[in-house]
Structure 1
């Protein structure tokens, strides 16, 4: 699928906006990778957040390269042959980031709805193995798509089958995100089985919410490009909107961590490591819900450090 869209001078403002947002996102995600990868003890949940930050960082790297390629093609009437490879890389990391977010929501939902079962039956290295599988699946699907569209026409059966497979996986992830988020929200609001609100709840729900508003248009674009290839005006508009919003989606998570981690706290004198730890805190704070409450059963809260 060649998802590059012809551009002109009118497209420069959104392209420049995309570059600015991407640079901010690269800085934020690099900070998260540094702290989670080298400065903090890593538990199961941190492993997912680290891989999500890595996927967002790499997506922004490939996406900003794609945008700069478009700028060059606007200024100079040349065609850059590596554009398809750049786009394939961006799709790999987009699918990987969405897959990590789906895994985070699923594990969190299981830990809340079935805490005893989850604590007793969850293998120790689940998050590491799951992240490796999701990375492998993302690379496989995106590479298969690039190879298929290099040898077949987009209307031929092999390409349609590949597109159907990728679309089915994206739909599954959307259903998982929607279902797990609604389950978590319902558990928090249900009076009979109400769970104390923690910063981790807020972080996950805000991350999912930002994805639905900013990350979803990119998936819609991938799906529609196969069916409306003759509508160049619609594709150009969809390309520009989804380009900006996808950068917002990949850049927003570090800002969410900072906002949630520093909320109701004196930011002065607190380093970013403490702010990040607070954003991923899974224990109610003293003074919330009538006082200090016992620690949750979720291993991913940090009580057990996952090795490997």
Structure 2
């Protein structure tokens, strides 16, 4: 089985292993030219690997800063709990991507065997973190949508530790699904487990996230009374939009290649690499969104990230409290 880290989930396709066993040939044969000649695909592979590595460095710094301030320097509320766990998932995904990129670059220059168990380890970790981030964003989108459409019900009937409970449940479910899927694949009990997992994610998460994003967009920009809401809602809306445009392409590419098993290896590998690059951008962009939306444009002095995050999420909490008071007054 191919364990090409940057190819990631394409390496976990059982059909490759079966085809290699039937033909009694080395799986390296189809891509010998790709790995040993300076072809355009190899050059693109090197450039994408380097780009992923560089973007991951900035993403790790940004998400690490968000985790530090939200986890240890600020008082948490139900909303920031979701953001904290999302930053942890993005941090884990970026760590996996950066490690796979380093190993891929080393393998291209023959400093590391192309097929290594380390690739599989980081592939599984990436798959776990990618799914967790996807589930967390789906939960965040639904939570924000309910808070906007039914503000009083969301404020008064929401359990105190609901966010923490949801985040813990998502981590457990994502971990169990990843482990079960890998065990079924390793023992050939159920082939194409990655495909079924991705298909389930697309069927469940994509519609929910799309509908929630549309509702938030309409409520935020097409109703004048909603334009006075906090900046945190705008930040979440942007995060959802970037996720739909940057993260889901990797799922779509993986599903498409399942239905086109005879596609050229170089084209397939390049498509997966582009999908991983988009996913890397998505995991790195959220801290930048928080910074740009939360900063005070009129401030002459440079503000710290802690001040920006406090303004961003404190403003959303204040807006929720004012909204509750106004609704209760009307009643």
TM class, shorter-chain normalised? 0.7 to 0.9
Residue 277 of structure 1 and its aligned partner are, at CA, apart by 1.9
Distance 1:112 1:248 in 2: 28
User: Which of 322, 327, 330 in structure 2 is aligned with 1:295?
Assistant: 322
Larger Rg: 2
- The aligned runs of 1:117-196 (5 Å cut-off) are 117-152=153-188, 158-160=190-192, 163-191=195-223, 194=226, 196=228
Contact 2:198–2:251 (Cα < 8 Å) also in 1: no
In 2: Cα distance, 1:54 partner to 1:293 partner: 25
| Per-residue Cα deviation, 1:42-80 (whole angstroms, up to 9, x for no partner) | 111111000000000011011111111211221117221
Q: 1:257 to 1:297 in 2, by over 3 A?
A: same
**Cα pair 2:185 2:193 within 8 Å, conserved:** no
1:235 to 262, 268, 273: 268
What's the CA shift for 1:184?
A: 1.3
Q: CA RMSD in A?
A: 2.6
How far apart, in 2, do the equivalents of 1:251 and 1:184 lie? 23
CA distance in 2, matches of 1:63, 1:137: 22
- How many angstroms apart in 2 are the aligned matches of 1:180 and 1:126? 19
**Hey, what's the Cα distance between the residues in 2 that align with 1:266 and 1:137?**
44
Task: Report if the CA contact (8 A) 1:201-1:282 is conserved.
Answer: no
Deviations 1:196-253 (A, max 9, x none): 2420121011111111221111211332343333312331121221121111100000
Taking a change above 3 Å as real, the CA distance of residues 115 and 60 of structure 1, as seen in their structure-2 partners, is same
| Contact 2:231/2:293, CA 8 A, preserved across alignment | yes
> How far did residue 267 of structure 1 move?
5.8
More RCO (CA 8 Å, sep 6+)? 1
Aligned partners of 2:181 and 2:193 also within 8 Å: no
Give the equivalent residue in structure 2 for 1:37.
Answer: 71
**Structure 2 equivalent of residue 59 of structure 1:** 93
Give the drift of 1:36.
0.4
* Segments of 4+ moved more than 3 angstroms: 4-9, 160-163, 189-195, 281-285
Partner of 1:4: 11
Q: 1:273 aligns with which of 295, 301, 306?
A: 306
Paired position in structure 1 for 2:50 = 16
Following superposition of structure 1 onto structure 2, how do residues 198-237 of structure 1 map, counting pairs within 5 Å? 198-231=230-263, 232-237=265-270
TM-superposed CA distance for 1:165, in Å, is: 4.4
**Equivalent residue for 1:255?**
288
Give the number of equivalent residue pairs. Answer: 288
Matched, 1:264 2:297: yes
Contact 2:233 / 2:316 at 8 angstroms: preserved in 1?
Answer: no
Rounded Cα–Cα distance in structure 2 between residues aligned with 1:150 and 1:262: 48
TM-score by length of 1: 0.85
Instruction: Report the CA distance shift for 1:179/1:39 in structure 2 as closer, same or farther (over 3 A).
Output: same
Q: Deviations over 1:19-47 (max 9, x none)?
A: 00000000000000000000000111111
Q: 1:105 to 1:69 in 2, by over 3 A?
A: same
Which consecutive residues of structure 1, in runs of 5 or more, have no partner in the other structure? 286-291, 299-308
- Structure 2 Cα separation of the partners of residues 63 and 20 of structure 1: 11
Asked if 1:108 is matched to 2:144, the reply is yes
Task: Quickly say closer, same or farther: Cα 1:178–1:41, change in 2 above 3 A.
Answer: same
